[in-house]
Structure 1
């Protein structure tokens, strides 16, 4: 029970950072291209929480947030580049934060205090800070990769809508609910984790070598 509470309190700030950075990056990019719909409701953390996506974070260490409305039809007409850049901007932000967190984790010596590392020195509050930074590294890298999967409601599906024929776009939107169920099943089967694990491990190793 104590370990679960410790994980919850160190994991929650990392999830908040991942969601906020992901959605703000998409907002800034879409706004730059004048493609933010008026009913978007703001990029605030509470507004962006998707209950299923949030539970995914706690159980599987990756998930999704509630995206604000982007006018992808307008971006599509303006050319593929703007639409694809808007779709991947959240993952770019998450990848950058995850890599920076990894460098901080190893360069600062925080890894010596993290409870997730072997032979760690348990010293509060350093151990708590180390665990938060560790989760920032893991959660942001996972979020960056996971959201590129081309299954709705993830950003990867928005990339697909930029390049498929127009008559296929409505089909993708129509079956978004099935996309969520598919993601849940693939996660429960461990298939998504199996695909992402070697990539995240390589990036973490790279951060460790650079540090």
Structure 2
């Protein structure tokens, strides 16, 4: 369990922090200064840490031996009144988070491949090389899971907000009414095993491919 914690904690922290920063940055570019004014566009983890999402949830998943490890951070506040087109722009802000995670997964994958370079292996001690490989493998997996999980079309997840932003107006209003029940729906999906059954095979297939580089 300790090895799993050491392997997962740093990449998870980076993934959830940059996910939220991306939301704040996108909102700022679309005219909303709220995140910037509240000091949320920062890499300081104390500004983003959430007791349940950042600590308890991933901790429970690690203890349970789940192949799917993910978490979150405090949502960055967004004020859609600043946007020219609130419904559409909220969808763009929501999309920025998962896109950031997929970009991070790609970066980790490229860096992982570079570790197999004989020049890198020559200059980096084996212990450090192994630790870096472990972090990068988990960086790919965690960012992939976080991006896919957040695209579930359930408000208030990013996928739900994207759906509300692009559905026809009547359907969008009906879908937005799910938001008060969204957390309960996500918890039900999580503990019923639906999310693990859906994302687990993706994680396992990706992990088998990545382990060739360790």
TM-score (norm 1): 0.74
Give per-residue Cα distances to partners, 1:105-145, cap 9 Å, x unaligned: 234229xxxxxxxxxxxx42222221111111111111111
Q: CA deviation at 1:199?
A: 4.4
What is the DSSP-based 3-state SS (H/G/I as helix, E as strand, rest coil) of the residue aligned with 1:137? helix
CA distance in 2, matches of 1:6, 1:204: 16
Aligned to 1:57: 58
Given that 1:99 and 1:207 are in contact with CA atoms closer than 8 Å, whether structure 2 keeps it comes out as no
Which residue among 13, 17, 21 is the counterpart of 2:14?
Answer: 17
Unaligned runs of 5+ in 2: 62-67, 118-125
Number of residues of Structure 1 aligned to a counterpart in Structure 2: 191
2:53–2:73: 8 Å Cα contact kept in structure 1? yes
Unaligned runs of 5+ in 1: 111-122
Pairing of 1:23-172 with structure 2 (within 5 A): 23-37=20-34, 40-43=38-41, 44-54=44-54, 55-58=56-59, 59=61, 60-75=68-83, 78=85, 81-109=88-116, 123-162=126-165, 163=167, 164-165=169-170, 167-168=173-174, 171-172=177-178
Distance 1:183-1:169 versus aligned 2 partners, 3 A rule = closer
**Distance in structure 1 (CA, Å) of the matches to 2:209 and 2:27:** 31
CA 1:185–1:5 in structure 2 vs 1: closer, same or farther (change >3 Å)?
same
CA distance in 1, matches of 2:79, 2:143: 26
Deviations 1:27-60 (A, max 9, x none): 1111011124377452442232233322333314
Return the offset for 1:92: 0.6
1:74 shift after superposition: 4.4
Q: Secondary structure at the match of 2:76?
A: coil
**Correspondence 1:186 to 2:194:** no
Asked whether the equivalents of residues 115 and 133 of structure 2 are also in contact (C-alpha less than 8 Å), the reply is no
Matched residues in 2 for 1:69 and 1:185: separation? 25
Residue 6 (1) aligns with residue 3 (2)? yes
Q: How many Å apart are 1:81 and its aligned residue? A: 4.4
Is the 1:102–1:208 contact (alpha carbons within 8 Å) kept by the matching residues of 2? no
Distance 1:132 1:88 in 2: 25
Q: In 2, distance between residues paired with 1:206 and 1:33?
A: 39
Question: What root-mean-square deviation, in Å, do the aligned CA atoms of Structure 1 and Structure 2 show?
Answer: 3.1
CA contact (8 A) 1:64 1:147 kept: no
